[in-house]
A and B are shown apart, each in its own frame.
Chain A
Amino acid sequence: MTFLDLHLPLDALTAVLIIPAAAAVLLVLLPGYWLSARLNMLASLATWLVSLTLFVERPAPSPYLFVDDLNIVFVVLATFVAFTTSAFSASYIGHELEIGRLTPRYLRFYHAMYQTLMFAMNLGLTANNIGLMWVAIELATLTTVLMVGIYRTHEALEAAWKYFILGSVGIALALFGTILVYMAARPVLGEGQDAMVWTALISKAGGFSPELLNVAFVFLMLGYGTKVGLAPLHAWLPDAHAEGPTPISAVLSGLLLNVALYALLRFKMLLAANPAAIAPGPLMVTMGLLSLIFAGFMLYRRRDIKRMFAYSSIEHMGLITFAFGMGGPLANFAGLLHMTMHSLTKSAIFFAVGHIAQAKGTQRIADIRGLTESHPVLGWGLVLGVVAIAGLPPLGIFMSEFLIVSSTFARAPLLAILVVFGLLIAFGALMLRLNEVAFGEPTGSKAPVKASYVPLFAHLALVAAAGIYLPGPLVAWFQAVARLLG
């Protein structure tokens, strides 16, 4: 999409928002599956390419939008996974149309919502204004609610409704926290715009009223924590993952949870910049650890394959929150790496699971057997993905989990034991189910399915490569961000 850069007076930051927004409008108007699926891919690719240019040239921060070392990582990761998911979605949705699960009318709606979601996530990630960030995350919630309910089955509608109500309560609490942050900032930064602008907030955070910031953080933690899927507030997550179209499960796990986590990290930095405020770390550590162990146990009782990987997402988001809660350069580095690896691996798993569910015509684990025999490419893809997500060497997640555990051992051995315990529990459950699903006598349909393997194996290749060798510039970048996070 280089011609955009050449002919339009747009900086890359605006383009990252305008491309999905314009594509969403176009997709509402365009009929036909072939054209809209291609346009969806093209727009996602363009957004990703433009986001890459942010590394080279960074626009100056405005009161509404900005880019810094932290959010650029999130934006590039989000747009990349959005692009590969759109490629997966093209073949997945094609199959859903064939079997009549999705009608052409909803198809148009689906694609438009996909790009609207990309717009909302990019806006949330690049917003310099905490109010704007809130609005963007609300928009992202609404679009995903609509997409979760798109099949119009009772289960899908119920999942969408549950997600909606819990998400709305979370969003409401986050808004109260945002208002409190404004109240804390107002005496220092004055009334109006400035007191909600992130760059202004962080530079003056030392002078804010610590009591107000403390109360604000509790609300923000509970509010955005609901959207991250942290343990006592996670109830919406498995339903939303299981009942919606699989590309949406991939985007939810791989991206939307990250956006909420990003919001949480921003406010954590704000509190860390104020010496008199409570340390936000212990709260995040507690909730993260709780999610990790709870989800580990819950994994054993799952009968639905997508639901199982949704619980695995809760587990990993818990681990990431734990790492960021521990703080310090090494734990933050590990947290960032783990977040990246989890996004790539989990979306790859959902790519495989989506096609598998289509091939077998079911999501019930008990009805899926012997995948490596009946569908070798998909089966081994899933095996590789699950091995990666379970944290076996030499894949990327092993490295990030190893870093998290070892950095925790050095500072709080007791916590590290709990983390290892949680990881082992989850590992056992994943291996148990993988063994059932992938090996043994094949059941169900053996008919080949038209699948797109490129996104799946591209993600897995990246995860494998990261486990063996991380390029120097990337390490340096992550280290810089880790220092920024404090």
Chain B
Amino acid sequence: MAGQYFDIAHMLAGGLVLLSMTLLYQDRMFGLLNVFALHAVVLSTSVAWQGHIQGAPHLYITALIALVLKAIIIPVALRRMVVRLGIHRTIETVVGVGPTMLLGMGLVALSMVVMLRATATADPLAREDLAFALSVVLLGLLMMVTRRNAVSQVIGFMSLENGLILAATGAKGMPLVVEISVAFSVLIAFIVIGVFLFRIRERFDSVDVAALDAFRGERR
């Protein structure tokens, strides 16, 4: 029975890593949004499953937040945003798809090596969950640095945050998980509102005042 529990938890966490890799090579905005919505659904299922096997009903709240906010509201909002800005056909990546995928695989391997070695003494479910979670976090970071477009960077950040929620719920009995996930949802909501209000299209990758001369979103 316990083995079966582990398998499903692993399948869901592994699915999240796979979807993170899928996010990396999406070259259409709508495709990106759809994959992200699926990412959030899998996360929500995974959190609910953890709530079930840990006998921790409060995790269902976190699962519900993930489902409603990140699988429905935010993708819909971002889709409208993308249509309004007219950027649904283009995603400029800084690095090509091939190298990005290779880097992604490298990061997954790295997190497996680091986490499995570091958590040799922890219980097996938690340690593998943690290794998957770290992969998702690192892939999210990779996505943020390989994309120019603010919307896809935001998606990268949200997938990173999904990895954190996966880690937090995988850590059995961790207190304040719900509070932390609520705090994170507030952060995410702010980011999305920010994209909406400021119509930010590109990332800001320079440090100096010269780059601040013109608001880059208006220039194109």
Contacts and interface: CB of A to CB of B under 8 A. Distances in A.
Interface string A222-266: 000000000000010011001100000000000000000000000
Contacts of A159: 212
A235 B206 CA distance: 8
Contacts of A161: 194, 198, 200, 204
A236 to B, nearest CB: 9
Interface stretch (A39-47, A84-92, A185-193): A185-193
B128 interface: no
3 closest residue pairs by CB, A with B = A191-B173, A154-B215, A131-B176
Given A168-B157, A172-B160, 4 more contacts: A172-B161, A196-B176, A215-B118, A235-B207
A176 B144 contact: no
A308 B51 CA distance: 50
Given A172-B137, A175-B164, A179-B168, A196 B174 contact: yes
Interface stretch (A132-140, A391-399, A407-415): A132-140
Contact of A186 (B167, B171, B190): B171
Nearest to A162: B204
B77 interface: no
Interface of B: 114-115, 117-122, 126, 130, 133-134, 137, 141, 144, 153, 157, 160-161, 163-164, 167-168, 171-176, 179-180, 183-184, 186-187, 190-191, 194, 198, 200, 203-204, 207-209, 212, 214-216, 218
A129 interface: yes
Contacts of A158: 204, 212, 215-216
Contact of B175 (A131, A169, A180, A238): A131
Contact of A209 (B122, B179, B212): B122
A162 B198 CA distance: 12
Given A161-B198, A161-B204, A135 B180 contact: yes
Nearest to B54: A191
A138 B187 contact: yes
A186 B173 contact: yes
A142 interface: yes
Contacts of B173: 186, 191-192, 195
Given A212-B122, A214-B118, A172 B194 contact: no
Interface in A197-211: 209, 211
Contacts of B216: 158
Contacts of A154: 214-215, 218
A11 interface: no
Contacts of A301: 208
A169 B141 contact: yes
Given A192-B173, A215-B115, A235-B207, A187 B200 contact: no
Nearest to A139: B183
A160 B183 CA distance: 19
Interface in A142-199: 142, 145, 154-155, 157-162, 164-165, 168-169, 171-173, 175-176, 179-180, 182-183, 186-187, 191-193, 195-196
B190 A142 contact: yes
Contacts of A160: 194
A303 interface: yes
A307 B153 CA distance: 26
Nearest to A307: B209
Contacts, number: 126
A304 interface: yes
A129 B209 contact: no
B166 to A, nearest CB: 10
A307 B216 CA distance: 20
Given A159-B212, A161-B204, A175-B164, A211 B120 contact: yes
B126 A183 contact: yes
B122 A187 contact: yes
B214 to A, nearest CB: 8
A212 B191 CA distance: 31
Contact of B209 (A145, A176, A304): A304
B204 A183 contact: no
A214 B114 CA distance: 11
Nearest to B164: A175
Given A131-B176, A134-B180, A142-B187, A303 B209 contact: yes
Interface in A278-300: none
B139 to A, nearest CB: 13
6 contacts: A129-B176, A155-B215, A172-B164, A183-B130, A239-B207, A307-B209
Contacts of A193: 175
Given A154-B215, A187-B122, A209-B121, A192 B175 contact: yes
A139 B175 CA distance: 19
- Which of A179, A180, A209, A238 counts the most chain B CB atoms within 10 A? A179
B65 to A, nearest CB: 15
A212 B164 contact: no
Contacts of B118: 209, 211-212, 214-215
A298 B168 CA distance: 39
Contacts of B176: 129, 131-132, 135, 196
Contact of A183 (B171, B198, B209): B171
B190 A164 contact: yes
Contact of A182 (B161, B171, B194): B171
A102 B179 CA distance: 34
A299 to B, nearest CB: 13
Contacts of B184: 138, 175
A416 to B, nearest CB: 29
Contacts of B160: 169, 172
B210 to A, nearest CB: 9
B161 to A, nearest CB: 6
Contacts of A173: 137
B157 A165 contact: yes
A165 B154 CA distance: 9
Contacts of B164: 172, 175-176, 179
Contacts of A179: 164, 167-168, 171, 174
Nearest to B195: A161
Interface string A380-406: 000000000000000000000000000
B208 to A, nearest CB: 8
Given A135-B180, A142-B190, A211-B117, A176 B167 contact: yes
